[in-house]
Chains A and B, each alone.
Chain A
Amino acid sequence: MKTVNIKIDGVALTVPEGTTVLEAARMANVSIPTLCFLKDINQIGACRMCVVEIKGARALQAACVYPVSEGLEVITNSQKVRDARKVTLELILSNHDRQCLTCVRSENCELQKLSKQLNVKDIRFKALTDKEMQPIDNSSASIVRNNNKCVLCRRCVAVCQKVQTVSVIETIERGFRTRIGCAFDKPLAETSCVNCGQCIAVCPVGALTENTHIPQVWNAIADPDKYVVFQTAPAVRASIGEAFGLAIGERCTGKMVSAIRRLGVDKVFDTDTGADLTIMEEGTELLNRIKNGGKLPLITSCSPGWIKFCEHNYPDFLDNLSSCKSPHQMFGAVLKTYYAQKMGIDPAKMYVVSVMPCTAKKFEAQREEMKNSSGYVDVDAVLTTRELARMIEEAGIDFKALPDTDFDDPMGNATGAGVIFGATGGVMEAALRTVADVLTGESAPMEKIDYHAVRGIEGIKEAEVEVAGIKVRLAVASGLGNARKLLDSIRAGKAQYDFIEIMACPGGCVNGGGQIIQPSSVRSWTDLRTERAKILYDEDKALPLRKSHDNPMIKELYDEFYGNPGSEKAHHDLHTHYIARGKY
């Protein structure tokens, strides 16, 4: 690799050619403020927060897009630079709706942090008048856009277009009227938005948030007639600690369970049990399709962002989708039927709350198809990981000081297979563990159940495994841009598979749109996907049971209630169907 010699604030260093000044400064331990920058996703030099002096250059230059060259001399903190950044920031703040006290992103806002860092003490330009305020778009079941807080960094647009290829938002008009929105200024709910929430995850400010269910959940907890059951998805435990100062990648399952219990809920269960059930149903579906010449490849259906993407963009693949509901919906259905009967609880009084790393689950939970099992909705409210953290904070619970406790019996004991559902490749691996045992009629030893070929953060993974003498061609895609590539290659006849796992978010649920938000200063330089996924694979490794069909609760459920996987009753309660939606 060719290198060049440069100087940053007088410090000489050698860096690879083509490095940006911003990255080079990092290597010299010099921190340059940024706002629109998001490594590899949005490097457009739009916000001018990262301007620096470059010797010989006519004007200040944006460090995030300026490539180094031999002999380059950079000054990052002269009076001129500080003044320029400050005036720019003042202008950004001039039409920012500065409701910091009540903003959901207070203390986790990149703009607020910059304002402090640049020592802005006075905003000389006027704030928004009521007349200039833009309407808030809360049409979507999942995502709320408040453009009055938008700083036009375009990170949401970049992630929606480049990473997810959903492309429903763009910069509209120009000059002072510039805003981010959908084509023809349609409300988000009327577009082909898939509700993945990656836009929220990258928003530096409070312009994008989830459509919150916190008030109704508090009301349900406070209602003595309601039996409130929480279930938590595997990926939630991989991120929630970050909200309370735990390191990224630090496991805190036990503290999370304790915290939820202290909110005053009746039961805390693990969605992983639902995941184990999903594997039984989906594994059976796969076996049936392979044995009976059914439609292949079978494509997983756990990710509601992916499902809506498929409904809009690949309606020709709807028959390939597994008919299985996603794990939390299955689990909600089980709670309101089997569990309610067993415990003598009126399902009308049961209030199921799913805590998810996901915003698309909010949309999924209110789909008409999700009301057929008990006659009531399977899931009453969906909280993101962030919303749960907010409730814990509101309840005055000292998260870090909590003891570890276990999920409640009997629905809280899941297997390692259920845990790894939260990472890309996890659903596939969990399914293979069960399918292999069913086909061979034997129990594979523990050292033979790790399918490393489907692990890791690559966007598209392919593998061929032999299960009981049958060759199964696998593909795993995470991030909808990768899903699009994979499906296009199948459509074009360039690739053939038997079983495909698709998750909407890059890296899977651990990097979901509902997870704790990490600022660009962290996201750009830390691989959240790997760090968080490690928690799940460690937990899998530590569990005594690591195959879904070994879960005694699952066995009991089939013995007492559903009969067999794929039975008529199971189909009625645990499966769903999909709708072709228009492209726009």
Chain B
Amino acid sequence: MGVDCGNCSDEKSRKLLAVIEAEKDNPGSLIRILHEAQEIYGYLPIEVQKFVADNTGIPLAEIYGVVTFYAQFSLKPKGQNKINVCLGTACYVKGAEGILDRLKKELNMDVGDCTEDGKFSLDACRCVGACGLAPVIMINDDCYGRLVPDQVPGILAKY
């Protein structure tokens, strides 16, 4: 990852440093910086947060507080394929929880985690705006609707 390198020779840290330099004097810029950092690294591990702390002067504890406050920031890496299970009202009453449980079982992991091979990550979200297809899951930009748990292994096999 290389973010803790002192001279920032790797490209990702250079990119993040440029973002920080451009933003750091603007009040309230921490969230923007963290968004960019997540874009660059895919998630916000401790090394990235320390890098932001070192270069902005914002305390690490405060950064961690912001990262854990907002659901869109992730402390864990995302997979090559990002699965999002809709737990909005319509999907929920149509059995989204059963779909989610089956995904957890098939992938042997919990919500928020990433498979060891980095292939899949699993998240739950609120309404994706496809209530007519409930229950719905998204994998990257693909949408799968009117699901029953037994369809899950077949869908995963496509990736």
Give the B-binding residues of A (Cβ under 8 A). 161, 167-174, 182-184, 191, 583-584
Contact = CB atoms under 8 A, between A and B. Distances in A.
Contact of A161 (B53, B62, B63, B69): B62
A-side binding surface: helix, strand, loop or mixed?
A: loop
Given A167-B62, A183-B61, A584-B60, A172 B50 contact: no
Given A183-B49, A184-B46, A584-B50, A169 B69 contact: no
A183 B60 contact: yes
Nearest to B71: A174
Given A167-B62, A171-B65, 14 more contacts: A167-B59, A167-B60, A168-B59, A170-B59, A170-B64, A172-B64, A172-B65, A172-B68, A182-B61, A182-B64, A183-B49, A183-B63, A191-B61, A584-B60
Interface of B: 46, 49-50, 53-54, 59-65, 68-69
Contacts of A161: 59, 62
A-B CB proximity, top 3 nearest: A167-B59, A170-B65, A170-B61
Contacts of A167: 59-62
Nearest to A178: B69
B37 to A, nearest CB: 15
Contacts of A172: 64-65, 68
Contacts of B63: 183
Contacts of A168: 59, 61
Contacts of B64: 170, 172, 182-184
A368 to B, nearest CB: 27
Given A183-B49, A183-B64, A584-B50, A174 B59 contact: no
Contacts of B50: 584
12 contacts: A161-B62, A167-B59, A167-B61, A168-B61, A169-B61, A170-B65, A172-B64, A172-B65, A173-B69, A183-B46, A183-B64, A584-B53
B-side binding surface: helix, strand, loop or mixed?
A: helix
Contacts of A170: 59, 61-62, 64-65
Contacts of A174: 68-69
Contacts of B60: 167, 183, 584
A24 B60 CA distance: 38
Contacts of B68: 172-174
The CB with the most chain A CB atoms within 10 A, among B63, B64, B69, is that of: B64
Contacts of A183: 46, 49, 60-61, 63-64
A169 B59 CA distance: 9
A184 B46 CA distance: 7
A315 to B, nearest CB: 15
A153 to B, nearest CB: 16
Contacts of B59: 161, 167-168, 170
B112 to A, nearest CB: 13
A182 B62 CA distance: 9
Nearest to B65: A170
Contacts of B62: 161, 167, 170
A385 B75 CA distance: 42
Nearest to B63: A183
B72 to A, nearest CB: 13
A174 B68 CA distance: 8
Nearest to A171: B65
The CB with the most chain B CB atoms within 10 A, among A174, A182, A183, A191, is that of: A183
Contacts of B46: 183-184
Nearest to B69: A174
Contacts of A184: 46, 64
A167 B56 CA distance: 14
Contacts of B53: 584
Contacts of A182: 61, 64
B5 to A, nearest CB: 16
A171 B53 CA distance: 17
A161 B49 CA distance: 18
A167 B65 CA distance: 12
Contacts of A171: 65, 69
Nearest to B49: A183
Contacts of B49: 183
A569 to B, nearest CB: 43
Contacts of B61: 167-170, 182-183, 191
Nearest to B70: A174
A207 to B, nearest CB: 17
Nearest to B46: A184
Contacts of B69: 171, 173-174
B40 to A, nearest CB: 20
Contacts of A583: 54
A583 B65 CA distance: 18
A583 B61 CA distance: 12
A579 to B, nearest CB: 21
B34 to A, nearest CB: 14
A160 to B, nearest CB: 8
A172 B64 CA distance: 7
The CB with the most chain B CB atoms within 10 A, among A161, A169, A184, is that of: A184
B35 to A, nearest CB: 18
A182 B59 CA distance: 11
A171 B64 CA distance: 9
B36 to A, nearest CB: 20
A168 B65 CA distance: 11
B65 to A, nearest CB: 4
A184 B62 CA distance: 11
Nearest to A177: B68
B90 to A, nearest CB: 23
A174 B66 CA distance: 10
A213 B50 CA distance: 35
B99 to A, nearest CB: 24
A544 B92 CA distance: 81
B107 to A, nearest CB: 24
B23 to A, nearest CB: 20
A560 to B, nearest CB: 50
A523 to B, nearest CB: 24
Contacts of A169: 61
A47 B92 CA distance: 34
A450 B69 CA distance: 53
A321 B63 CA distance: 31
A167 B63 CA distance: 11
Contacts of B54: 583
Contacts of A191: 61
